[in-house]
Structure 1
Amino acid sequence: MTVAAARSLVDEMTRTPTGRSSVSVYETGRLVSLSPWLTLHVERIRHLLDAERPDGGWGGPDDGYALVPTLSATEGLLAALRRGDLDAVAEPLAKGAVAAVDRGLVFLRDRLATLDASRLPDMPAVDLIVPALVEALAAHLAALRETPVAGLEAWRDVPAPPLPPGLRRTRLERVRAALASGHPLPEKLLHALEVTGPAAHRAAGVAPVGPGTVGASPAATAAWLGTPDPGTDVARRYLEAVVRQYGGPVPCTSPISVFERSWVVSTLIRAGLPVPVPATVLAGLRDTLGPTGTATAPGLPADADTTSVTLYALATSGQPVDPSSLWSFDTGEHFCTWPGEDGASITTNAHVLDALGWHLRHPGPATGDGGTVPSADRARLAAAVHRLSAWLADRQEAEGSWCSDRWHASPYYATWCAVLALHDYGVGPAVGPAVQRAVRWVLAGQHADGSWGRWGGTAEETAYALQVLCVAGATSTPATAQAVDRGRRWLSTVESVEDGPALWHDKDLYRPSLIVRAAVLAATWLGRPVGSADPGDPEPPLRSAMIRIA
């Protein structure tokens, strides 16, 4: 029933114009702290209490990933307790909040002094968020000396928490000073506007866009808004809509429709799943593309990652658009996610290789409304494809993976992106050996139960590994065929793909559920035995099949 499930996925995606993501402890904690007036405030507090781990932390499976959500949840709950937000609700909830804060403070006391900044994951604005939250937490602890909170007396005379070794406040201070003086911030920093504190409130040069968001972030919007008044109805309505969609807690980014739709469509197309995609979805993606590409969401800058996946989704669905918008991200060595980026992303460059590689393989004159690139630009395309192929191969780890990327916690995601791009569009002598090293690494990483995963087997990471093997591995060899069979069998035992962990990088780890489901369906389709009888699925599976436009 893979095709039927994929059709259901596309229908669900079409019916949800804002997209859907997992909720974020970090972002929810910021709304608890900043917007106690906002609908479903108590539900956000309950979510934080329910999400706390037994060790007092929140968030990811190691201390690096847990620091930001734990700081946010602890500070948010402490702000709510100091304001008396829970005085009028059930006493057990207030006691639960006190106990959660106490455990969170113990966790942070033990981690902040020892967790070196170099161990923090490369997530958006982490060097701004951590100092801002440590500062806010220090202010709360100082206030407890004058106005204690019952149950937290032990923290009245505790000194201010330190920053992790190696982390400085310098960049945060520069950003705050620039905003306070009226200087416009880079658009990407608006996503974390809440770190600027009081300076964010109705900051000069900052205004809601699209559905009413600042930086595509509930927290950034709340920091800009403060207490609503008639002049801020659009931002208030945005926040109200997000909290109602998710039942109180909120994701880091909303809406995510361009990101979600481009990833889902391109993943299903690449696997050859014969599923109709509504013409309105493709038209919507096409309309977002401008001279500088497209952004994940209103309020964010255009980026090479979303632009290239959107271009690839449209091209492989029969509606190619001239990819010249990508040239603004070309550094001469690789492609940046956005101009001025620190570092570089493996997966962004793999996606750019997909987009440019497709257009290089499909020559033809550009038309007035898009199409493939003019022949005069093909030399530039070919040079970029050669350069990206070599750049990706050079950054492969010795054991065969691409293990470090700023947009995902798992090396299986980065390896999947790199392998598929190199296998399908890479050129040069390094490509074949790089792909085969990756296949061997994937084979060696399979768990005893047939799954794959960084911290334990997950459906998402198993799907990436299976696609690598099915696309680039010699599935006729016994070892690969057995690994694929074991992986498919394990996937068939997963009751719900929705229950997996959050592995994607934003200000907090998150899970774009429809994108993950698309990856699992693609792996199931690619990995099924030819000749298998799956009701509703045509035979045989053809990876190169085109998705039909409905």
Structure 2
Amino acid sequence: MDAYESEVDASQALIKWLALQCSSNSSFGSMSPSIYDTAWLSMLQKPGDPKHWLFPECFDYVLKTQLPDGGWPAYASIVDGILNTAAALLAIRKHLAVGHGHKTSDLKEISSRAEDALRELLRRWDVSSCDQVGFELLVATHLRLLSSEGVVLDFSQLAQLQALRDAKLAKLPASSVYGEPSTLYHSLEGLIGHIDFDQIGQWREPNGSMMASPSSTAAYLMHASNWDALAEAYLRDVLRNSSGQGGGGVPCAWPTSIFELSWVVTTFIESGISIGEAEASVIGTFLESTLRAQKGVVGFAPWSFPDADDTAKTAMALFYLGRRPETYIPALINTFETTDHFRTYLAERNPSISANINVLSFLLLLDDPTPYVPQIAKAASFVCGRVFLGEVKEKWTQKNKKFCEQLLSIAPKLKEQIPLISLQMLMTALRLQGCDGGWDNECELTAYAILTLSSLVQLPWTGTHERLIDAIKHGKTFLTAHRSEWKEAARLSSLKLSPRYCVPQSYKPVTLCVTSNAGA
């Protein structure tokens, strides 16, 4: 059995598991435990019972995941390391203040090492180059909370960070938080000291969470005047049923069922991996019933805050599963279309490239996309414009000649922009490939790079097919050689099924689309 067949078998087993979860009538998600969110749960105490920690197993998890240098892991950026270490240190300081449950001398030593690690992370951090969403609020708030616990952390760019925080808050009137839910509800801990938590309970989701975020829900419980039993029940549900399986760790979001189902289904079917009739029926019914119940728009889980990414991906999944998602297009357009792009969320501040790519991909799937030429042109023009600003490297696809003529009549610049963008992507991908065939020595990044090149090789204007195919083969050799590392990385990644849904396509044999110049 070759690598591709092996991955296909494992992928079909995953589909069966997902279908089983859909049939269970229980919430599900497989994001790996997050140090940050786990630390926030470990700080919870019920009012009137200062000697009782609500989730002591979470604190144990935080302690056992401390690194030898005294910090906690940085998943994708130094900001992740700063926030993980700051939240863990804050939890330790709060436990030290109460003075029970762990030997004080041990906690003091752990705290001291964590402080040293956090100071070093802050020293190395370039605040001006950071573009992680909400970092200015989250990091500044954690530093302020640590200061209140006796840990004062000064560093050369602190004033710059505080200025960024103040500028962000100046654009964030209380009415924007209290008046309607937004993405801020996923990180309410960043607004501690700036909002009245008693005024946000009305936007809690039906499952008891604040936008399916354990850390945000924990912050809400800590700072609301009245204890919310449903929010506590949500956190217990996460601790018991998420990927940590009761071991003390919780993910950064849970549940994530719509997100996982839609992305897995679309990627597998585009890879040529078949989905059994029984599984397709169960998954399709789950997705469509959720879409129908929520009037045509969905988020990453049932009844979570709707967004264009998950709505478009869910519609794509339904199309691939033999359903008719056209019924829900008006809701997608009416909810997310703006004058020049599709927004991700209703209260979005910064336009998202991925949301427009996903809306574009869905509309191009339709048997007859011509009724939506204005929306397709709008999304494509937005994506192309962002690429030329250096903000994204993505691919774009188009349909039949009549459709393209209509599209280009609305957005004529696309005719020149699309080839330029794809060639830019091609050159960048080839330039960044390592001598060992991988990209940045990472299996996941290499798999995505192979997917990109496999798409680009189909385009008539890329030309260098032999060079492209050699790069793809070299990348596959890297994946095969690092197979064991990939499986270990899957255990630690933020989404454990990510390797399973992108590796099959990266192993898939490459076929070329040969076009004739006859009659040109």
Indicate how the Cα distance of structure 1 residues 177 and 346 shifts in structure 2: closer, same or farther if over 3 A, else same. Answer: closer
Q: Could you tell which deviates more after superposition, 382-391 or 471-480?
A: 471-480
Distance 2:100 2:172 in 1: 31
1:60 is matched with which residue: 75, 80, 100? 75
| Distance (Å, rounded) in 1 between the aligned partners of 2:465 and 2:211 | 49
User: Do structure 1's residue 108 and structure 2's residue 118 form an aligned pair?
Assistant: yes
1:300-379 pair list within 5 angstroms: 300-322=304-326, 323-327=329-333, 328-359=335-366, 362-363=367-368, 378-379=370-371
Q: Give the 3 Å change call, closer, same or farther, for CA 217–163 of structure 1 in structure 2.
A: farther
Distance 2:255 2:41 in 1: 17
Amino acid of the structure 2 residue aligned with 1:265: V
Mark the runs of 5 or more structure 1 residues left unpaired by the alignment: 142-154, 364-372, 405-413, 504-509, 531-550
Contact 1:450 1:487 in 2 (8 A): yes
Paired residue for 1:132? 141
Specify which of 435, 442, 447 is matched with residue 448 of structure 1: 435
Find 2:233's aligned residue among 228, 231, 237.
Answer: 237
- Equivalent position amino acid for 1:210 in 2: P
Alignment of 1:462-541 (within 5 A): 462-473=446-457, 477-493=465-481, 494-495=483-484, 497-500=486-489, 511-527=494-510
Using the TM superposition, name which of 77-86 and 221-230 deviates more.
Answer: 221-230
Equivalent position of 1:256 in the other structure: 256
Q: Distance in 2 between matches of 1:519 and 1:97?
A: 42
Q: Is contact 1:242–1:250 with CA below 8 Å preserved after alignment?
A: yes
Residues 422/35 of structure 1: CA separation in 2 closer, same or farther (3 Å cut): farther
Matched residue, 2:49: none
| Cα deviations by residue, 1:276-302 (Å, 9 ceiling, x for unpaired) | 243121111112223461111356421
Distance change (3 Å), C-alpha of 1:82 and 1:501: farther
When residues 437 and 49 of structure 1 are mapped into structure 2, their CA distance, relative to the original with a 3 A threshold, is: same
* Greater Cα shift, 9-18 or 169-178: 169-178
Alignment match, 1:265: 265
* Residues 319-348 of structure 1: per-residue CA shift (max 9 Å, x gap): 131222222212221111113322222211
Q: 1:349 Cα shift?
A: 1.2
Taking the aligned partners of 1:2 and 1:480, their CA distance within structure 2 comes to 23
Write the distance in 1 (CA, Å) between the matches of 2:262 and 2:316: 8
Q: CA RMSD in A?
A: 3.5
Note the C-alpha offset of 1:51: 4.0
Residue in 2 that maps onto 1:389: 380
Q: How many residues align?
A: 465
Give the secondary structure class of the aligned counterpart of 2:74: coil
Q: Normalization by structure 1: what TM-score?
A: 0.75
Q: Which of 176, 189, 193 is the matching residue for 2:188?
A: 193
| Structure ranking higher on relative contact order (CA contacts 8 Å, 6+ apart) | 1
Describe the shift of the 1:8–1:492 C-alpha distance in structure 2 as closer, same or farther (beyond 3 A).
same
Q: Which amino acid aligns with 1:262?
A: S
Instruction: After TM superposition, give the deviation of residue 519 of structure 1 in Å.
Output: 1.0
**Which residue pairs with 1:219 in the alignment?**
215
- Shift in CA distance, 43/470, structure 1 to aligned 2, threshold 3 Å: same
SS in 1 for 2:497: helix
- Secondary structure, in 3 states, of the residue corresponding to 1:333? coil
Contact 1:112 1:164 in 2 (8 A): no
3-state SS in 1 of match to 2:350: coil
Q: Is the 8 A contact 2:41 2:58 kept in 1?
A: no
Residue 3 of structure 2 aligns with which residue?
Answer: none
CA pair 335-295 structure 1, distance change in 2 beyond 3 A: same
Tell me, in whole angstroms, the C-alpha distance in 2 between the residues paired with 1:139 and 1:228: 19
Deviation at residue 351 of structure 1 after TM alignment? 0.7
For 2:184, the aligned partner's letter is L
Judge conservation of contact 2:38–2:58 (CA < 8 Å) in 1: no
Contact 2:183 2:347 in 1 (8 A): no
- The offset of 1:45, in angstroms, is 3.2
User: Which residue in 2 is equivalent to 1:460?
Assistant: 444
Percent identity reads 24
1:167 corresponding residue in structure 2: 164
Other-structure match for 1:434? 421
Report whether the alignment pairs 1:296 with 2:300.
yes
Per-residue deviation, 1:121: 3.0
Q: CA deviation at 1:73?
A: 1.6
Change over 3 Å in CA distance of 1:229–1:196 after alignment to 2: closer
TM-score by length of structure 2 reads 0.79
Give SS of 2:384's match.
Answer: helix
Distance in 2, matches of 1:249 and 1:54, equals: 21
Deviation at 1:122, TM superposition (A): 2.5
The answer to whether the 8 Å contact 1:131/1:169 transfers is: no
User: 1:201 deviation in Å?
Assistant: 5.4
SS of residue in 1 equivalent to 2:306: coil
